[in-house]
């Protein structure tokens, strides 16, 4: 695989007019999104390769002979039950009889806290979501987080917006709810009534839900309250009884969206029990559809993928089973993945890049004109404290308490879910485990965690087109370099900058510097709101602000690190007619090659804090003097932005 694939490029376009097309135009022309996918691109190609590796690992593990309790036994058993469609059909809804029985047995409102707690323990989440995370006010402690939820559509807006497309999706959703109720045994009239019941209650919750933009605000979503305060502010539901039944002996929780919990508790007190049962049953079926007979699975695909995202065809079962396994036993699957696919060479070299980028960011912070000395000192303290996790965990998590067998896929899924809840509960009152990973090693992604103040790069993304040991440095610094710089920038984006070096939500900025930063953020918001990826639908500049800051900063940091590397190793000759500077930008843009269905793009514009791939390339590069210089762009170029409209942050 060449580092830069010349056959992807459309050189009939002037690079400074539309660099995404220049780098990827021919690829875009000849690539068809596979019928089973909402989107296709560099990320998807790696994900597909990883799935093939995982399939091999799972099949081998399933052949038998693995020691009881071993990773191979658990992977093999979950895989085998997941692939056994005949057994799933034969079991029917009997496989989840305990959960359905729990809901049907709710005949006294006083029993609601316990029923809800037991469903939540199995990670079936009607109403809201309960997890254990660090306390943003004291990152050395773990506390219970209560998060708004309980909706079957992707966001509150889907219930509340009145445009034609939103109304159409709502109508399709009601039909979907009714069909699921029929599959669960309701007659046509009951099913229609069930659908209306669910839509009414979810719409009520949607009204009380915090917007996605507000949810990005670390202060708005930090509401640590004692259980007595919670009972006072969200009366109508026995929170203490709920938490005790869930398994947490705690005195306080972080109830992240206070208005939501107040309304939810009111609803739990005044909605007729028979309607609450209908709502709970829907969320049990919805969450487990992929482990139920084909009719449920297909119905779920039909609404969530076909209607919402325009995907014509369901993925083959083996991919869906592996994706479900990845969510539940991702790290156990990951042990098998790492043995087959991880490269110590990639790990070592990308760690070098991280060092280079950290040094470059340090210099950039020192040179910032808009930030005062006091804030700079704190920023550097935070940067120096960044922990780095690369490829896969040094220490694998303990899976001895997870019992899986070859009897029932749904039961295995539920056991794995409860195991995750037990792991959460065990974190309460114990020191924060800094070795824990939030992504599995095979994940094609990376993250910054503000509470841990760490950047994490799973082995999954350390592959072409993001990193290749055979590529020239320019291409690697542009591709994986941007990813690394992006994650580092998250430590200092509009939300990440609210946390200090120790991961505590604590202001370490002077007032003047914070104000100067916010003025720069406004420029970023305005820039991205000028992009209209779909006719009539612009990017939400506030929703995507943190990611855009990450992209803009990330590319600059990667560029600065690349310059340091060139100084160290001396000038490099052009390859295929492109200078190292040009190849840096080509490597970056080709790693983001991407095609997406309009419907899928619309969903992402509504809910995804990331800008679409095209703007992730165009936006930051338009702001860069070095890009315009490398490709001879001037004021007449399509991507030109006047100097005073270019946000410079990091
Ligand atoms: Zn990000």
Whole-angstrom Cα Rg for the chain? 25
Distance of CA 544 from the midpoint of ligand 1 (Å): 10
Residue 207 CA to ligand 1 centre (angstroms): 28
Ligand 1 centroid to Cα of residue 278, in Å, is 38
DSSP secondary structure code for residue 135 in this structure: E
Q: How are beta strands 138-148 and 128-135 bridged, if at all?
A: antiparallel
Question: Taking a C-beta distance cutoff of 8 angstroms, is the pair 262, 233 a contact?
Answer: yes
**Ligand 1 center–CA 604 separation, angstroms:** 14
Q: For residue 411, how far is its CA from the centre of ligand 1 (angstroms)?
A: 35
Distance 486 CA to ligand 1 centre (A): 6
Distance (Å, rounded) from C-alpha 552 to C-alpha 8? 24
pLDDT at 649: 85
Contacts of residue 626, defined as CB under 8 A and 6 or more positions apart, other chains included, come to 559, 581
Which residues in the chain come in under a pLDDT of 50? none
d(CA 492, ligand 1 centre) in Å: 12
Q: Is 415 helix (H, G, I), strand (E, B) or coil?
A: helix
Residue 468 C-alpha to ligand 1 middle, in angstroms?
Answer: 22
Fold classification of 346-384+467-645 (topology level): Collagenase (Catalytic Domain) (3.40.390)
Query: What is the sign of the dihedral through the CA atoms of 16, 22, 28 and 29?
Result: positive
The answer, yes or no, to whether the previous bond of 465 is cis (omega within 30 of 0) is yes
Tokens describing residue 275: 């309607």
Cα(557) to centroid of ligand 1, in Å?
Answer: 15
CA angle at 294 for the pair 291 and 296, rounded to the nearest 5°: 70
Provide the CA 299 distance to its chain's centre, in angstroms: 24
Residue 547 CA to ligand 1 centre (angstroms)? 5
| Cα(118)–Cα(280) distance, integer angstroms | 12
Rounded to the nearest angstrom, the distance between the alpha carbon of 550 and the centre of ligand 1 is 6
pLDDT tens, position by position, 450-493: 999 999 999 999 999 999 999 999 999 999 999 999 999 999 99
The predicted model scores a pTM of 0.96
- Residues pairing with 1 in the sheet: none
Q: How far is the centre of ligand 1, averaged over its atoms, from the C-alpha of 487 (Å)?
A: 6
Centre of ligand 1 to C-alpha 390, Å, is: 17
> Domain extents for the chain?
346-384+467-645
Q: How far is the CA of 376 from the centre of ligand 1 (A)?
A: 23
Look at residue 63 in the predicted model and tell me its pLDDT: 95
Count Cβ atoms within 10 A of the Cβ of residue 547 and give its class: 0-12 exposed, 13-18 middle, 19 or more buried.
buried
145 C-alpha to ligand 1 centroid (Å):
22
């Amino acid at each position: 695989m060449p580092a830069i694939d010349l056959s992807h490029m459309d050189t009939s376009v002037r690079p400074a007019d539309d660099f995404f097309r220049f780098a990827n135009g021919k690829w875009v022309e000849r690539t068809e999104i596979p019928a089973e996918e909402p989107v296709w691109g560099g990320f998807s190609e790696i994900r597909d390769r990883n799935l093939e590796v995982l399939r091999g690992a799972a099949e081998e593990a399933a052949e038998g002979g693995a020691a009881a309790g071993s990773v191979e036994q658990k992977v093999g058993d979950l895989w085998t039950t997941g692939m056994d469609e005949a057994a799933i059909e034969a079991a029917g809804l009997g496989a989840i009889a305990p959960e359905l029985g729990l809901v049907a047995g709710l005949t006294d409102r006083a029993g609601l806290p316990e029923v809800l707690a037991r469903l939540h323990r199995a990670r079936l989440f009607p109403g809201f979501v309960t997890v254990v995370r660090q306390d943003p006010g004291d990152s050395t402690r773990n506390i219970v987080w209560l998060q708004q939820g309980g909706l079957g559509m992707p966001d509150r807006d889907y219930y509340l917006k009145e445009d034609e497309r939103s109304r159409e999706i709502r109508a399709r959703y009601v039909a979907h709810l009714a069909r699921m109720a029929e599959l669960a045994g309701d007659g046509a009239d009951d099913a229609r009534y069930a659908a209306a019941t669910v839509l009414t209650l979810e719409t009520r919750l949607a009204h009380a839900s915090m917007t996605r933009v507000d949810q990005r605000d670390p202060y708005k979503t930090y509401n640590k309250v004692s259980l007595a305060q919670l009972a006072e502010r969200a009366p109508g539901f026995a929170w203490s009884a709920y938490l005790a039944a869930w398994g947490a002996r705690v005195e306080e929780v972080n109830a992240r969206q206070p208005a939501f919990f107040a309304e939810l508790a009111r609803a739990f007190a005044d909605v007729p029990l028979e309607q609450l049962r209908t709502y709970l049953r829907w969320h049990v079926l919805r969450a487990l559809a992929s482990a139920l007979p084909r009719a449920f699975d297909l119905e779920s695909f039909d609404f969530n993928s076909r209607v919402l995202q325009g995907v014509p065809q369901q993925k083959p079962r083996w991919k869906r089973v592996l994706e479900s396994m990845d969510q539940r036993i991702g790290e156990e699957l990951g042990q098998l993945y790492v043995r087959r696919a991880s490269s110590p060479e990639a790990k070592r070299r990308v760690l070098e890049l991280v060092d280079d980028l950290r040094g470059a960011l340090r210099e950039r912070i020192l040179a910032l004109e808009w930030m005062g000395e006091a804030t700079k000192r704190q920023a550097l303290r935070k940067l120096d404290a960044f922990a780095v996790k690369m490829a896969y965990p040094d220490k694998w998590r303990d899976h001895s308490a997870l019992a899986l067998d070859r009897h029932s896929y749904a039961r295995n899924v539920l056991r794995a879910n409860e195991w995750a809840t037990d792991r959460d509960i065990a974190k309460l009152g114990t020191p924060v485990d800094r070795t824990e990973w939030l992504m599995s090693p095979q994940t094609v992604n990376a993250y910054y965690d503000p509470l841990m103040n760490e950047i994490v790069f799973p082995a999954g993304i350390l592959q072409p087109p993001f990193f290749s040991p055979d590529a020239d440095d320019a291409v690697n610094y542009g591709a994986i370099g941007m990813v690394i710089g992006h994650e580092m920038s998250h430590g200092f984006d509009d939300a990440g900058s609210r946390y200090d070096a120790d991961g505590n939500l604590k202001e370490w900025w002077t007032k003047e510097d914070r104000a100067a930063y916010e003025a720069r953020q406004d420029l970023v918001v305005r820039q991205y709101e000028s992009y209209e990826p779909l006719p009539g639908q612009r990017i939400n500049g506030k929703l995507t602000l943190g990611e855009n800051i990450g992209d803009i900063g990330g590319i600059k940091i990667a560029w600065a690190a690349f310059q340091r590397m060139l100084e160290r190793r001396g000038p490099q000759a052009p390859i295929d007619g492109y200078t190292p500077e040009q190849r840096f930008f080509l490597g970056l843009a080709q790693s983001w090659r991407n095609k997406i269905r309009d419907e899928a793009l619309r969903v992402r514009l509504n809910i995804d804090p990331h800008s679409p791939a095209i703007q992730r390339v165009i936006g930051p590069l338009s702001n860069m003097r070095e890009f315009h210089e490398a490709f001879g762009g001037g004021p007449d170029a399509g991507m030109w932005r006047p100097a005073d409209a270019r946000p410079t942050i990091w």
